[in-house]
Amino acid sequence: MFCYQCGRRLSKHDFCTSCRADVGLYKKVMYVSEMYYNEGLEKACVRDLTGAIVSLRHSLKFNKNNIMARNLLGLVYFEMGETVTALREWVTSKNLSPEKNIADEYIDKVQSNSARLDSINQTIKKYNRALALCSQDSRDLAVIQLKKVLSLNPRYVSAHQLLALLYMEREEWERAERELRKCLEIDRGNVQTIRYLKEVEQMLAPDEGIKPSSRHRKDDSVRYQSENEVIIQPLNVREPKRGGISTLLNIGIGLVVGLAAMYFLVVPAAESRARNEEQQTILKISNESDVKTARIQELEGQIETLKGDIESLYGEIEGYVGVDGTLQTTEILLQVAAAYVETGDDQTAAAGLADIAGRVNIEEMTEGFRRLYQSVNGVVMPKLAQSYFQEGSRLFNASSYSEAVGPLEQAVAYDEANEEALYMLAQSYRILGENEKAIAAYDKVIALFPDSWRADNSKSYRDRLAGAN
């Protein structure tokens, strides 16, 4: 105990040895607080929780800093299901004495489990709702709510009491008694519970007057009223002893009844549960199967697409590798070029180039192929054209027009810009009497070389032939 003025520890004297303040009365107040705490503790130990609350509250009225009294008060409230009230006391205790306070542990235990705290809060809310329903005359609903509350928190004394009161209102005395007895198991000194129980016992044993304990005395019978019926229950009546055969018979009947109950109640339930589990399994497998089927279909679609791609690629490869394929044509071109380099034979090379031009479209080939083809063609063709022109020109000058036509046609075919060869060809056709071919050749001379003297001559010959036709 410390001095209220200087804070020093007090001695046995009625004054403070440090500041000389008069602490006689103050010490008495502190002692009274301790006395009430001890009383509260004793009551709590014998489960007189209501009495303990009264004593501990008195203790705190004398000394609010009596931490042990406050913590015990919290515990008592917690035991009676008033968790939030208990928390209030512990939090206050923690604020008054932050160091080495067991209230800290109590608060942690309650608050560490958030699900449990939420459940407690729900219980309290349900209880408050039930209380409101009672005031609104919805007592059936209130009974349902209170049953839920007690299923969640069986130590909730107020809920037991309220439920008992509702049962009493409905004259369900046995149920009311059951609830009140549960109350007494938690809190033996609750005057309200005892008063209700006395009323209930009077109603259960109306003939016994005001002696509630008479119901338990060793009498011949107990009478009590349940709703509109008076029930007489004999006491101290023992079943007459029977022989061993009847006992065995009873055991046998009991076993048969038990097995029948098992067969009709437990087995169908187990079968139903097993069926449900099987259905769940089948459903699960079915779902997995659906997923796999969908996956298989998707993969089959991918396989079809890939097959199409493979066939397309095979076609392309065939195009490159086949008899008339690109690779084959490239090989021919290489052979033509090699043969020309080795032999210098223009005609063979020209025939090879013509063969290649017949096989493939040169413009669609690779760049290397096109360049090689055009290089060989650019070397071979002018020389060949010149060769044919010289042959045709010689024959034309020798007046062998029919023989000259062939070489001149080749010369023009290989070199369209050879004006002289084209003109000689036109003259040869005219002399040989092939007027249509001559006119066509003259038209080419006129079209390709319009400013030359051969074009002027071609015009006059063409007009003459056209007039003759």
Partner 1 sequence: MINFEEELKKFHPSLEVEDAVDAIYSQDLTDMADILVKKIMGTEEGNIQKGVKE
Q: Contact region for partner 1 (CB under 8 A) — 17-25, 233-241, 372-380, 419-427?
A: 17-25
**Shortest Cβ 228–partner 1 spacing (Å):** 18
Task: Give me the DSSP letters along 430-462.
Answer: HHHT-HHHHHHHHHHHHHH-TTSHHHHHHHHHH
Amino acid at 417: A
Q: Is residue 134 involved in binding partner 1 (CB under 8 A)?
A: yes
**Half-sphere exposure at residue 118, Cβ-oriented, CA atoms within 13 angstroms:** 3
- Please report, as residue ranges, which positions from 70 to 109 form the binding site for partner 1 (by CB under 8 A): 82, 84-85, 87-88, 91-92
Helix (H) or strand (E) holding 96: helix 83-96
Please identify which residue in 30, 53, 411, 438 interacts with partner 1, judged by CB under 8 A: 30
Of the two residues 87 and 360, which places its CB atom closer to partner 1 in the complex? 87
Q: Is residue 117 involved in binding partner 1 (CB under 8 A)?
A: yes
* Contact (CB, 8 A) for 110 and 87: yes
Size of the site for partner 1 (CB under 8 A): 43
**Shortest Cβ 216–partner 1 spacing (Å):** 22
Please identify which residue in 9, 61, 275, 292 interacts with partner 1, judged by CB under 8 A: 61
Q: Contact region for partner 1 (CB under 8 A) — 29-37, 38-46, 217-225, 260-268?
A: 29-37
**DSSP alpha helices (H): ranges in 360-400?**
367-397
**Shortest Cβ 92–partner 1 spacing (Å):** 6
Please identify which residue in 25, 115, 245, 323 interacts with partner 1, judged by CB under 8 A: 25
Q: Is residue 386 involved in binding partner 1 (CB under 8 A)?
A: no
- Please report, as residue ranges, which positions from 181 to 220 form the binding site for partner 1 (by CB under 8 A): 192, 195-196, 199
Rounded CA-CA distance 377/340 in Å is 11
Please identify which residue in 161, 329, 428, 458 interacts with partner 1, judged by CB under 8 A: 161
Q: Own/partner pairs for 415-420, CB < 8 Å, 24+ apart? A: 415/381, 415/382, 415/385, 415/386, 415/389, 416/448, 417/448, 418/385, 418/389, 419/445, 419/448, 419/449, 419/452, 419/454, 420/389, 420/393, 420/454
Q: Is residue 68 involved in binding partner 1 (CB under 8 A)?
A: no
Of the two residues 64 and 383, which places its CB atom closer to partner 1 in the complex? 64
Helix (H) or strand (E) holding 229: strand 229-234
Under the phi-then-psi rule, with left for phi > 0, alpha for psi from -120 to 50, and beta for the rest, what region is 22?
Answer: beta
Rounded CA-CA distance 427/435 in Å is 10
Q: Is residue 124 involved in binding partner 1 (CB under 8 A)?
A: yes
* Contact (CB, 8 A) for 411 and 392: yes
Which parts of this chain interact with partner 1 (CB under 8 A)?
Answer: 4, 21-22, 25-26, 29-30, 32-33, 60-65, 82, 84-85, 87-88, 91-92, 117, 120-121, 124-125, 127-128, 131-132, 134-135, 158, 161-162, 165, 168-169, 192, 195-196, 199
